[in-house]
Each structure stands twice: as C-alpha cells, then as structure tokens.
Amino acid sequence: MADQHPQQPTLAIIVPCYNEEAVLDQTNKQLLDVLNDLIDHNLASNNSYIVYVNDGSHDATWLKIADSCAASQHVRGIKLAANVGHQNALMAGLETVRHDADVTVTIDADLQDDTSVIAQMLQQHIQHGADIVYGVRRRRDTDTWFKRTTAHCFYRFMDMMGVDTVDNHADFRLMSRRAVDALCQYDERNLFLRGIVPLLGYNTATVYYDRKARQAGESKYPLSKMLSFAIDGITSFSVKPLRLILYLGIAFLFIAMAILTYVIIALCQGRGVPGWASLMLSIWFVGGCLLVCMSVMAAYVGRIYIEGKHRPRYNIEQYVK
C-alpha cells in the first residue's frame, strides 16, 4: 500500500500594517513566493492565505491591500475602523482566521524577519507537534547600538520583574488552532502578547534566524512607543513594582533613622550647624520618590479602570477575501 502524506494544514500568515505603502508590494511578493513554495512542498494546503490587517493607516496601505486581494486568491485583507495598535491588530487577525485556519504565523510587514524559516516552523508543528514555534533572532547586527542595548535591558528587566518572555523574540511566531483558541480566551485590553503566549502552556519549539535591515519605510516603534510597550508589559504581568515601593519606603525609614541618629550625636557634641540646604535636598528627594511611587500605583489603577470598561479592542470596517 502506498504511503500517504498527512493532510496539509491550512496556513494563515497574518501581517499587521500601519502606513506600510512603501514596503507592501515587496512584502506581498515575497510572502506569496513563500506560501506557494510551502504549498508545492506539501507543508501547507492550497487553501492557505495571507491576511493583511490595516491598522488605521493614513496612506495608501489599504488600497494596496485591496489590489493584492483582487490579484490573488491567496490574499485577504482586514480593514480596522481606527488605529488600535500593533498588538490589537494582531489579535484582530488571529480572531478573524481562527475558525478556518489550522495554523497561523504572525509576522511584521517590514521584511526584517526571515520569511524562509516559516517552513521550519511548519515542520516543527507537523513533525514534532509543536503548538507554538517562536522565531528568535540570533543577532541584532542590523539594529543600532542604542536599540540593541535597550532591547537587552528590556528582556533582563522583564525577567527581574517575573514576566516570562523569550529573549530576542518579537511577534514572529507560529501557533496552532488550539493555541490561538486558548489565546482568544485572554480578554484583557492591555495586550502584551510576548508575555501572554508563554502562559498558554502548550508544546513549544524555537527556530533561529538572522534579522535583516528594513528595506523601505520607517520603523513604527520609536523610543516613546518602546517605553510605553515596556510599561504595558510590566504592569500587565507583574506586581513586583508595587513591592519595590514597599522596599523603597522601608529604605527611607532606615535612612531617616540614620540621619536622626547623626543629628542627635552632632547636637550632643556641639557640632550642629543649622542650614536649609540639607532640608531642601531631603524634601525634594523624598518628594520626587513619592511622585514616582504614585505614578507606578496610578499605572496599575489606570489599567484596572480600562479593563473594567470591557470596551472592544477593535472594530472591523471591512474584510476582503
């Protein structure tokens, strides 16, 4: 009896897009080549497709997506009604395709992630039963020294805060249908997928690749967004900053006791010199620390406020197949 190939999974490649008109043509061509190659090598079914999620772009991104949909049966497009951010755009794509895709791969539109390793991801899923396959960068040679350094500090700090993340992994990953179904049960509004996905607990694997330089367009993660993203990740998954406030308060008490002891000894020895410099310095120092502590607590309260409203993460204006 002749050997039979197992049924190929239906693959959906999800690509969030925000003002990506400069690179979208190249991205679509490269991803279609990859998808056709996967189909030819029996790693994906002929029903597989790419879905671009337009995250409220202000340029011609949606027009290019619509043209790509008209030109190929393997391309779909989701137009969100407003800009909701990278993480919410990813969730919009995942939740839309979860019922007709056996496997999903999420990848950014900037062509910096190596699309050739998608085949390795599928092999890990098909041959070894991995429900989640992380794409991890070997090196960050294409990034600036500042970005490499801040990224390294980010992963170290997240680890210190008790947040389970995968080093040098962004959002380039494969997920099986049951992994996506499990992810969709996480109803929080402050999304940090790099922290949520490791919580799912399914069988995981890792593939490594060399990150390439952006071929066109501009980075959508300037320093301000990177800082905001880091704060979201920490406050969504760890209460250690609140404990640090307690430790800081205890440390201040010890410092105050030490200063009080010094003042008493100085007065007893007749060396006390009245002055406002030390007083003002203490006031400003303690006042600044109090403001920092209040800001940390306010961040948690703000997230509770947002979660309590249960507003939708996104609204889909149009879905083109």
Helix runs in the chain, H state only: 21-40, 61-71, 86-97, 118-128, 145-160, 177-183, 193-196, 223-237, 240-268, 277-309
What is the average per-residue pLDDT within 154-162? 66
Average pLDDT over residues 66-76: 93
Looking at residue 289, what is its pLDDT? 74
Mean pLDDT, the chain, whole residue set: 80
Could you tell me the pLDDT band of residue 271, with boundaries at 50, 70 and 90?
Answer: low
* DSSP state, residue 2: -
Domain chopping of the chain, boundaries: 11-238+315-320, 240-309
DSSP 44: S
Tokens coding 1:
């009896």
pTM over 0.85: no
Stretch 196-208: mean pLDDT, rounded? 88
Reported as a single tens digit per residue, the pLDDT across 167-189 is 778 789 999 999 999 999 888 77
Write a three-state SS string for 54-78. ECCCCCCHHHHHHHHHHHCCCEEEE
Residue 241's nearest CA partner among 230, 255, 252, 226 is 230
d(CA 104, CA 119): 12
pLDDT over 60 at 1, yes or no: no
Q: What is the CATH number of domain 11-238+315-320?
A: 3.90.550.10
Q: What is the mean pLDDT of residues 138-163?
A: 66
- The pLDDT score that the predictor gives to residue 2 is 39
**306 CA to centre of own chain:** 19
d(CA 170, CA 5): 33
**How many Cα atoms occupy the beta-carbon half-sphere of 200 within 13 Å?**
24
Q: Does the pLDDT of residue 134 top 50, yes or no?
A: yes
